Structure 1
Amino acid sequence: MWTGAHQGLFGCGGSVEGAGCPPGKREFPGALKFLYDIGAVHFSCEMAKENNSMAELKSQHNFRSFNQHEAAECPRSLSLEGLLCRLKAIEAKKDDKFANILNAVGEFGTFQRRLVALTFIPSILSAFFLFADIFVFTPQKPYCNTSWILAVGPNLSEAEQMNLTLPRESNGSFLTCLMYVPVDWDLNSIIQFGLNHTDTCQDGWIYPEVKKRSLINEFDLVCGREANTRIVQIMFLAGFLTGSLIFGFISDKLGRYPTILLSLLGLIIFGFGTAFVSNFHQYLFFRFGVSQAVIGYVISSVSLATEWLVGVHRAHAIILEQSFFAVGAMFLTGLAHSLPHWRLLYLVGGAPVFFLISYIWILPESPRWLMMKGKLNEAKQVLCYAADVNKKTIPLNLLDKLQLPRKVTSSSILDFRNDRHLRKVTSVMCSVGFAVGYNCHTLSFRIRELGVNIYFTQVIPRLMELPARLCCIFLLEQFKRKRSLSLTLFQGTLMCFLSLILPSELKFLSVLIIVLGGFILVASVTVFLIYTAELLPTVLRTTGLGLVFLAWAAGYILSLMISSQGIPILPIFLCCISSIMALTLCSKLPETQDHLLPESLEHFLPLTRTRNEDMLNEDISRDDVTEEVAKNTILNTMMMNMDRDVLSNLPSQSREEEIDRRTEGQAPR
């Protein structure tokens, strides 16, 4: 009865006599044949259970595909470990009822496509508001305002006025930030004798060579006040740091939907509202709010896409969202080049932000998060709505199988310290985030030192970002998550190292290496986001992402501090050390591609093995292992799993009675 299922799972490589395979194949040893029979009977029983409905037949087909993927990662030889690995793959897929429901809803139907499309406009606007500082702080040449001379010579042109009242350098150009002290002479005396005593600017500054209005010439951030532009970076980082913690915590506590709406509200108020600030201190406050809103949206939207989509669609959605982030940066560059006033830049570029108000009615909540918070009915309603949009129907018997976790526990940021496996994953990804952040911003500071035109430094890297992010699709398919991250981080670090050791005289080669390094590191950032979101459990996914972005910001801060020191060896040293440490630690992480998402800390087990599995592997590794030892070990492991499943399905009172009977040595009834 079970020969067909048996043969479909393992193939003829594990044949026994009479199983329908060609003759001449060797038989299993006793222990392997024993396990083979157990696996076959177990598999056939599961097939019989899954034949109750068409939806569950589809689910069976899906977990069979999953089993094939797992078999590729297991030992390919027909060994005891290989068969156990295949059986464990079947059990894992069978238990993931949520994935089966998502398959019934439709893996990438109208609902999922709409969800991905909803990330386009916020991503464009996030990049627009995030990088706007680059174009509103363009360098200016300030000259002292000497309009006092117009009182004695009202018909003087601007050139004549500057020639009479401003001192010159040795090369003949006017000095900035200095002027001749005003005198009570008539115009003829000033022209005949000239002015000799200089002083700093007394009545403000003029900018005759500037054609555009920027923050520098509107708030006079010149002549000793340039340090105010560095404060903008500090406020941006402060908002980034606080936003990572606050929005990561809020998203795990209140949900992805309210956190995204709160972030979009921040973009509306602090992004578009920047056009109406009246002084520089207000501008700093609004930039602080914008950086918080941007990081809050990135964390929550990546988590929402991760929890709604399955398989390759999950990675493609995040890659596409990041691609539109690059589109937003190019959109900003074009507007900044064409608009003559910085306020117009915020007004025109930020106008689409009001469309985001409609997200109140069309944005869905994550059903995985609802399940982890004990909101079963709300999760079912969201799933049924998604199925309705996709014109699908979820079978009732499949939907009824969706149950709350056995123990709905509260989680907190302290779990990152108390849980060993979560602490390990977070620490490794924080080291990778630090290295990526440091290398990215070291390259950006390096290209500014070369004196390249600001529009060139923005247009070329942004044009390179799109193919870099889209190349991640091919990269992930070929090398998976962990290898892709290691490969891109290594190559990006190499480019960063070369850009730092090359002399400034080789300007063209330096710029080429910096652009190539930026291309590779952009791909590294995209893989890093996908990999981190899949490693973290649902109950603490956004909090973990917030901590990882904290490490990224720390790399940015350190790069900012070192670039201002002017010590050439320090950037090279930290570039190498941080990347070597990140690459070494990254090798300790598990692969997540095509694996199930961890939902809670109890399910967060890809990094460990149970005690029984360790005992089994220890027995297998011995040369003198006997058939009897293998049988007993396998039976003990399977019986313990069966007992645990039976006890978990009993009512609480019956469970206690059953435990008491077993403790007292009585046979169960």
Structure 2
Amino acid sequence: MTEFGDFISALGEFGLYQKLLVLLISISLLLNPFQMIGQVFMVLDEPHHCNTSWICAIGPNLTEEEQLNLTLPRDADGAYEQCSMYSPVDWDLDSIVAYGLNATEKCSSGWVYPSAQAPSLLTEFDLVCDRKDLNDISQSIYMLGLLLGSIIFGPLSDRIGRRPVFLICMLIRGLFGVGIAFVPHFYVYMAFRCVVGAAEAGIMIIALVLVTEWVGLSHRSKAVLITHCCFAIGQMIVPGLCYGIRNWRLLQIAGSAPVFALFFYIWVLPESARWLVIKGRIEEAKKVLQKAASINKRTLPQELLEQLKPETQPKPGSTLDLFREKHLRKVTLIMVCTWFADSLVYYGLSLNVSGFGLNVYLTQLAFGGVELPARCACIFLLQWFGRKKTQAVLLLLSGLMCLIITGIPEDQPVVSTVLATIGKLTATASFSTSYVYSAELFPTVVRQTSVGLCSMSARLSGIMAPLMLLLEQYHRAIPMAVFGSVTVVVGLLCFLLPETRGTDLADDMGLEDIKGATPQTSGRSLETLSKKGTTKAGGDLEKDNYKFSESKL
């Protein structure tokens, strides 16, 4: 039977139709970084002190400085304490001035902030002192939303289609993203952020699937890379937007409302022809393929279209299958740890952008800028040095940068920021490498399951990364030490993996391609298979990569 890859080749592997599709997907991904890192700019540290207006009832003619001198203790540097105050008393003003106040307590009537500052998330919901941890907790809630979105929208897109789920996720992102700007309480804010995170995960998953299912094999990595680069461009746009709009509610609207400008996607975003074929909707698939061929100025022969039939997919393996075979068990455990470390250091550095001492807007601009060369460099690194060395070395470099930062004095913010930028670059490249490496390491029958398991590990570490930043209250070096040590250990483990550059992709649990196999080659291990230098036929490779494209990334 004719492989589906033959239809993609006939209509053009990366013609005008696919380029327009990649453009549509890329535009939607430009908006994703705002939801991920926008909160960093809404909770910038501001001077504050306890509200001690109680003394105004006793001494209404006191100046602000006199009021603060009488009601606030000072720290070791002589500055007013930000999180404690002298306990209110029912004395007269002369007694307070003569004897002073000694007993202290935590702020009981809220805080006072500079009146000239525009309303921020920090000042409106008092994310200071005992409530400071809510900021990092809310970031973890957003990461929880990413996890839930991966679990919910991935299977849903397999069931009802890529296009409708993508549009639903965009609608949810727009509605709840704008809705965040009107929340009355911080706990409602966190709940809305969780929903937005779930929608963001669905958009990222389906964007990858649509691109990989429409673009031919030889251009697939390039097309996916373009969408990744647009995500990086979005990261560079965020600091400029946040710098220009300081009111957090207006900023939230400005970062979320543009999704409604993409309403025309309802008419122009195509369904995956490959998904239509698998679901047996052959006539719909023919119409979509003919439209794509027409835009690409190609003609699909009628004889070829008549051969379009539902493809028989092999029965997928289960998660338990990954741990039954010794060689698969080792690969699975190491790759789960690799994705965990990738996500931990990536989000750990991204969300700590305000903790390196330099201007937070310039730091984020640098962080977004390094993602472009990082993703582009992956193409050449994987070709020149192979998968194993590239994955291991990139993780080691990321971890080492974090560990070195722990030894940099606080009065050297430039050095810390440069090291963090290098760490973000290598972490980004490592994350991109993991996508490619995982697809090649696992056999077809468990590829979707295995990459889904790895992705879940990454989401869990994404939830943990903001919580790790809370350890900074005990010592500023602890978060970076954790990020660095975990990543270095996992980087060393990657040297135990087999190399997959130029090797045949395995289909069955024995890691041996059934087609053309001989009794002597049956049941080869992954290590043995990795030594083969053969290349699978284009049709089989197309099917393997399609399996990967449906993974819950």
- CA displacement 1:421-473 (0-9 Å, x = unmatched): 99998666534322322343455578766544433432211111122223334
Aligned to 1:178: 84
Aligned to 2:127: 221
Distance 2:181 2:215 in 1: 37
Given that 2:398 and 2:427 are in contact with CA atoms closer than 8 Å, whether structure 1 keeps it comes out as no
Distance 1:97 1:207 in 2: 66
> Which of 396, 399, 407 does residue 496 from structure 1 map onto?
399
Amino acid at match of 1:229: N
Tell whether 2:149 aligns with 1:243: yes
After the TM superposition, which residues 24-43 of structure 1 pair with which residues of structure 2 at under 5 Å, given as runs?
A: none
Aligned to 2:163: 257
Query: Judging changes above 3 Å, is the alpha-carbon distance between structure 1 residues 160 and 338 closer, same or farther for their aligned structure 2 residues?
Result: farther
Bigger relative contact order (CA 8 A; separation at least 6) = 2
Aligned to 1:610: 514
Amino acid at match of 1:294: E
How far apart are residue 119 of structure 1 and its match?
1.4
Q: Residue 176 of structure 1 aligns to a residue in which SS?
A: coil
Query: Judging changes above 3 Å, is the alpha-carbon distance between structure 1 residues 494 and 409 closer, same or farther for their aligned structure 2 residues?
Result: closer
How far apart are residue 352 of structure 1 and its match?
0.7
How far apart are residue 227 of structure 1 and its match?
2.5
After the TM superposition, which residues 352-431 of structure 1 pair with which residues of structure 2 at under 5 Å, given as runs?
A: 352-405=258-311, 407=312, 429-431=335-337
Given that 1:425 and 1:535 are in contact with CA atoms closer than 8 Å, whether structure 2 keeps it comes out as yes
Amino acid at match of 1:491: L
Distance 2:320 2:293 in 1: 35
Query: Judging changes above 3 Å, is the alpha-carbon distance between structure 1 residues 606 and 352 closer, same or farther for their aligned structure 2 residues?
Result: farther
Distance 1:416 1:379 in 2: 34
- Aligned-residue RMSD, C-alpha: 3.7
Aligned to 2:200: 294
Tell whether 2:140 aligns with 1:234: yes
Given that 1:252 and 1:539 are in contact with CA atoms closer than 8 Å, whether structure 2 keeps it comes out as no
> Which of 24, 27, 51 does residue 121 from structure 1 map onto?
27
How far apart are residue 125 of structure 1 and its match?
1.2
Aligned to 1:436: 342
Tell whether 2:221 aligns with 1:315: yes
After the TM superposition, which residues 42-121 of structure 1 pair with which residues of structure 2 at under 5 Å, given as runs?
A: 97-121=3-27
Aligned to 2:491: 579
After the TM superposition, which residues 329-368 of structure 1 pair with which residues of structure 2 at under 5 Å, given as runs?
A: 329-368=235-274
Q: Residue 264 of structure 2 aligns to a residue in which SS?
A: helix
- CA displacement 1:595-638 (0-9 Å, x = unmatched): 99x9xxxx6699413397344669xxxxxxxxxxxxxxxxxxxx
Distance 1:435 1:129 in 2: 22
Given that 1:125 and 1:353 are in contact with CA atoms closer than 8 Å, whether structure 2 keeps it comes out as yes
Show structure 1 runs of 5+ residues with no match: 1-94, 619-669
Q: Residue 384 of structure 1 aligns to a residue in which SS?
A: helix
Tell whether 2:71 aligns with 1:165: yes
Given that 1:323 and 1:466 are in contact with CA atoms closer than 8 Å, whether structure 2 keeps it comes out as yes
Amino acid at match of 1:577: V
Tell whether 2:100 aligns with 1:200: no
- CA displacement 1:152-208 (0-9 Å, x = unmatched): 555554334323432323432111222334455666665566545443323211012
Distance 1:562 1:185 in 2: 45
How far apart are residue 129 of structure 1 and its match?
1.0
How far apart are residue 544 of structure 1 and its match?
5.7
How far apart are residue 278 of structure 1 and its match?
0.8
Given that 2:386 and 2:501 are in contact with CA atoms closer than 8 Å, whether structure 1 keeps it comes out as no
Amino acid at match of 1:233: Q
Tell whether 2:239 aligns with 1:306: no
Query: Judging changes above 3 Å, is the alpha-carbon distance between structure 1 residues 577 and 193 closer, same or farther for their aligned structure 2 residues?
Result: closer
Given that 1:247 and 1:296 are in contact with CA atoms closer than 8 Å, whether structure 2 keeps it comes out as yes
Distance 2:330 2:280 in 1: 27
Distance 1:117 1:170 in 2: 57
Query: Judging changes above 3 Å, is the alpha-carbon distance between structure 1 residues 245 and 462 closer, same or farther for their aligned structure 2 residues?
Result: same
Amino acid at match of 2:390: L
How far apart are residue 543 of structure 1 and its match?
6.4
Identity %: 38
Q: Which stretch has the larger CA shift, 324-333 or 158-167?
A: 158-167
Given that 2:239 and 2:364 are in contact with CA atoms closer than 8 Å, whether structure 1 keeps it comes out as yes
Q: Residue 171 of structure 1 aligns to a residue in which SS?
A: coil
Distance 1:172 1:291 in 2: 43
Q: Which stretch has the larger CA shift, 303-312 or 545-554?
A: 545-554
What TM-score, normalized by structure 1, do the two folds share?
Answer: 0.67
Query: Judging changes above 3 Å, is the alpha-carbon distance between structure 1 residues 404 and 576 closer, same or farther for their aligned structure 2 residues?
Result: same
How far apart are residue 231 of structure 1 and its match?
2.0
Given that 1:426 and 1:544 are in contact with CA atoms closer than 8 Å, whether structure 2 keeps it comes out as yes
How far apart are residue 277 of structure 1 and its match?
0.8
- CA displacement 1:524-569 (0-9 Å, x = unmatched): 2234335556888999987665433211123345656666386697
Distance 1:116 1:153 in 2: 67
Distance 2:330 2:223 in 1: 27
How far apart are residue 150 of structure 1 and its match?
3.5
Distance 2:324 2:269 in 1: 33
Amino acid at match of 1:584: L
Given that 1:244 and 1:547 are in contact with CA atoms closer than 8 Å, whether structure 2 keeps it comes out as no
Show structure 2 runs of 5+ residues with no match: 523-553
Query: Judging changes above 3 Å, is the alpha-carbon distance between structure 1 residues 122 and 384 closer, same or farther for their aligned structure 2 residues?
Result: same
Aligned to 1:630: none
Amino acid at match of 1:576: V
Aligned to 1:633: none
Q: Which has the larger radius of gyration?
A: 1
